[in-house]
Structure 1
């Protein structure tokens, strides 16, 4: 009996049919994709509180992990904030492994088989994403080279999440669908426009007139969702440009639409809950009241309207584009796309950007609002020469709000604010901001522990001393334990790792 084909072989076979010219580039990209995913996995094994790893220690210039069953896993000493690191193999009881999916299979821990399949898909999809880039694509060094459209910035992010092993896992997508819908492949997507009787829909905010048809609402539907989940075709459609989240797209004009996509991308199923539609307007209204507290350094994109046919599978959210907050000559860039420019290589620029981000984040945290400020949600407004001027934040669904802190500062708490985002737990509030902004957006922009530590050291000198700032400087840095969460099926909620503080020394 022959073994089942691997994800790499399956994708290569599909590619040979739908885009044979990409085949050699896909094959050439596979070793780098395996190393990129293995690097993310090794980071997780070293730093996340996985219950089957009993001890971590430095041994002979390497990291040694002792497993609960007595086995030992060796690999390089990892920088938990590095983005350009390349781990090509680790050794499990002396046997070298360079394929992250096979390593996870050999580890054989609970839920390993499902996670291994996701890792295999992540490798194959990343290789496809890299193969789809034009040869010679290089770092943007001159602002004159910068993209004109906001969606062009988003489509420069090729590898996905900088630290998640499932950075490019797209289960349920064929090769043809990845090439058609993946933002890194830079193809316009024809969204379906599905009419639904208005009395069968729930609307939050204002649903625009051009998306109404008499007594029906017209809901934008992603073509993958229409085909695989709704099992129907849409007679009408509109061309849009996919953004880095894949299910959010730029419409003509200054609007973005978040569509339902009922499959697991990275960690989460990307449908749109009825609750999130219900709360979208009140969250948007609340967010607009926060800008004055930042001295105009932060703008929150407004939710223009949200609609659902009382199903997470058929819903859409319309938001204004972040670019509406840019003056002529300025650029609005997702933080995740900054690594594709020469800006972060300047220590001064990195310190200025870090100071701006921490000033805004800590000011709102003191007020009682913790942003989920990772590199996708957070954007920076740059001057024509690239100086960081202001920030823009989008997607309010996962912020956390502390009622006690708000009350202390005299900020009204909306009655209809969702209960799930309310918490006075200071640890939960700090984890939300520090984990997304510092261990996420700033770390990935800096690209290494040394660069992040230097930027933080310079930036914090100018910030008001507060208990939150002291915690940021002196305590381990929280980060979502993304691998632990994928290996904890049936356990709801975020899980956390404690990373070594970049302002201090020590590996663990």
Structure 2
């Protein structure tokens, strides 16, 4: 019998205080949650360039990983694009592990203790997220935020898919979008002269000579230590720190907690570039013949601190006509879609048409399942795309100039002419992320790519996508090597190679 981990026991005790009616359901969900996290971890062990794994051998009955210290790991074959929880046990030198946190502890690699704690939190929080779900998906939601709250399991490939260290069970229930709460957003008054402000700032967020910066209540309690005032009742979106106001406006807040890989604050660089990028991207989207819209940044402000900043954006709902639905690509897995696999091929063609067109022009989108949204017709056909959150796109001045487009007046990490960086950004997020997560397996992704590619114009970028290994962020390696700045990458086997 599995011995519960300390974090599992702690969340159970907190849940007994906050929601005793969920304790039994939480306990029942724990084995499946551990398997879901273990599956994601096994994918990383099987495919990421981990320096502690020296050889990988595929056999008739599974995969063996030989470690630098002489030990061996054994588990099932690892489809890098599978989203189901198919790994229930991994053997480390013959000892069976069904708990990803204990497996990582047993590996004993540098920084594995910290990652093990995050994996334990991911499994426990995922069980809590699943325990709070209502039976049946019901009708298609009418509002964009309702679609986002249907996404329960988090990132489809990251072992830290539901890791929320620093959040108690009560706080997860109060703020986690999958629990469908209404959150009371707060504001912090700051002298306007102490702020960097770009774009427009609404009158209701001004108080004489002060700006009122929206803050998440978790941030108020744990980082800012009070001083904020209640403002609006809002609905949290899938990113947790972004929330929908009653009028539809989305508010991105700073949330200085480590969720999945990153601490979710907002840099001064992002605030300064927000409106410039928004205007530029809106103009560029017009070159896609109506296939892409970019949600406009209305205003952005920071009190010269990544812990106290906010961005106001229009809702993606603005780009859905009556009868249409707009939803994050990550939410596609929560509903029944018509005509699969033909539907998947058509959606893949739409996404690649837009992504490759912008890449050719000089913009690489971070088009994962959270940033990329799809507009569906009343019958469920994919019509066009909506993109939000421009903070992590990459711009190539050379490509833009070659197409007669004046690059925006920006410097810093978003600007690069490196072809590899540009392609990794788009292919890693769109193909290895959004499309793979929607397809759910390598064979399904390969079929969709092959069908879609036959109808796309030939470009060097398309050739690179179809013929080279597929880049994906090495998310586990990045957590195990925090001393290495920036992204690290895995080269996944191209799904078309086996098609």
TM-score range, shorter chain: over 0.9
- Aligned-partner Cα distance in 1 for 2:156–2:194: 41
User: How far is 1:235 from its partner?
Assistant: 3.1
In structure 1, the gaps of 5 or more residues are none
SS of 1:253's equivalent in the other structure is coil
Q: Which residue of 1 aligns with 2:481?
A: 488
User: How far is 1:252 from its partner?
Assistant: 1.3
SS of 2:224's equivalent in the other structure is coil
- 2:467 is aligned, of 452, 468, 474, to 474
Q: Which residue of 2 aligns with 1:137?
A: 136
- 2:200 is aligned, of 203, 206, 211, to 206
> Is 1:428 matched up with 2:427?
no
- 2:279 is aligned, of 275, 285, 295, to 285
Aligned residue runs from structure 1 range 48-87, under 5 A: 48-87=48-87
User: How far is 1:233 from its partner?
Assistant: 4.2
**C-alpha offsets along residues 119-152 of structure 1, whole Å, 9 cap, x if unaligned?**
0000000000000101x224x6xxxx20011100
TM-score, reference length from structure 1 = 0.96
- Aligned-partner Cα distance in 2 for 1:387–1:305: 33
- 1:407 is aligned, of 401, 406, 422, to 401
Q: Which residue of 2 aligns with 1:161?
A: 155
> Is 1:178 matched up with 2:172?
yes
- Aligned-partner Cα distance in 1 for 2:419–2:399: 10
SS of 1:126's equivalent in the other structure is helix
Aligned length: 497
- Aligned-partner Cα distance in 2 for 1:49–1:25: 38
Q: Which residue of 2 aligns with 1:44?
A: 44
User: How far is 1:345 from its partner?
Assistant: 6.8
SS of 1:327's equivalent in the other structure is coil
SS of 2:275's equivalent in the other structure is helix
The answer to whether the 8 A contact 1:367-1:406 is kept is yes
Q: Which residue of 1 aligns with 2:128?
A: 128
Aligned residue runs from structure 1 range 390-405, under 5 A: 390-405=384-399
- Aligned-partner Cα distance in 1 for 2:487–2:285: 28
- Aligned-partner Cα distance in 2 for 1:61–1:233: 59
SS of 1:421's equivalent in the other structure is coil
- Aligned-partner Cα distance in 2 for 1:235–1:443: 42
- 1:263 is aligned, of 257, 261, 268, to 257
Q: Which residue of 1 aligns with 2:145?
A: 151
User: How far is 1:420 from its partner?
Assistant: 0.9
- 2:320 is aligned, of 306, 326, 344, to 326
The answer to whether the 8 A contact 2:35-2:85 is kept is no
User: How far is 1:5 from its partner?
Assistant: 6.1
User: How far is 1:293 from its partner?
Assistant: 1.5
**C-alpha offsets along residues 237-258 of structure 1, whole Å, 9 cap, x if unaligned?**
2111000000000011121000
TM-score, reference length from structure 2 = 0.98
- Aligned-partner Cα distance in 2 for 1:84–1:344: 21
Q: Which residue of 2 aligns with 1:107?
A: 107
**C-alpha offsets along residues 64-105 of structure 1, whole Å, 9 cap, x if unaligned?**
000000001000001110111420001111111000000000
SS of 1:497's equivalent in the other structure is strand
SS of 2:136's equivalent in the other structure is coil
Q: Which residue of 2 aligns with 1:449?
A: 442
User: How far is 1:194 from its partner?
Assistant: 1.9
- Aligned-partner Cα distance in 2 for 1:262–1:292: 35
- Aligned-partner Cα distance in 2 for 1:46–1:4: 26
SS of 1:289's equivalent in the other structure is helix
**C-alpha offsets along residues 358-379 of structure 1, whole Å, 9 cap, x if unaligned?**
0000000011100000000000
- Aligned-partner Cα distance in 1 for 2:118–2:228: 31
User: How far is 1:4 from its partner?
Assistant: 11
Quickly say closer, same or farther: Cα 1:18–1:294, change in 2 above 3 A.
same
- Aligned-partner Cα distance in 2 for 1:65–1:34: 21
- 1:215 is aligned, of 202, 209, 214, to 209
The answer to whether the 8 A contact 2:184-2:230 is kept is no
Q: Which residue of 2 aligns with 1:307?
A: 301
**C-alpha offsets along residues 191-223 of structure 1, whole Å, 9 cap, x if unaligned?**
112222111211011111121112111111100
The answer to whether the 8 A contact 1:344-1:445 is kept is no
In structure 2, the gaps of 5 or more residues are none
> Is 1:458 matched up with 2:440?
no
- Aligned-partner Cα distance in 1 for 2:136–2:108: 40
- Aligned-partner Cα distance in 1 for 2:93–2:338: 39
The answer to whether the 8 A contact 1:71-1:93 is kept is yes
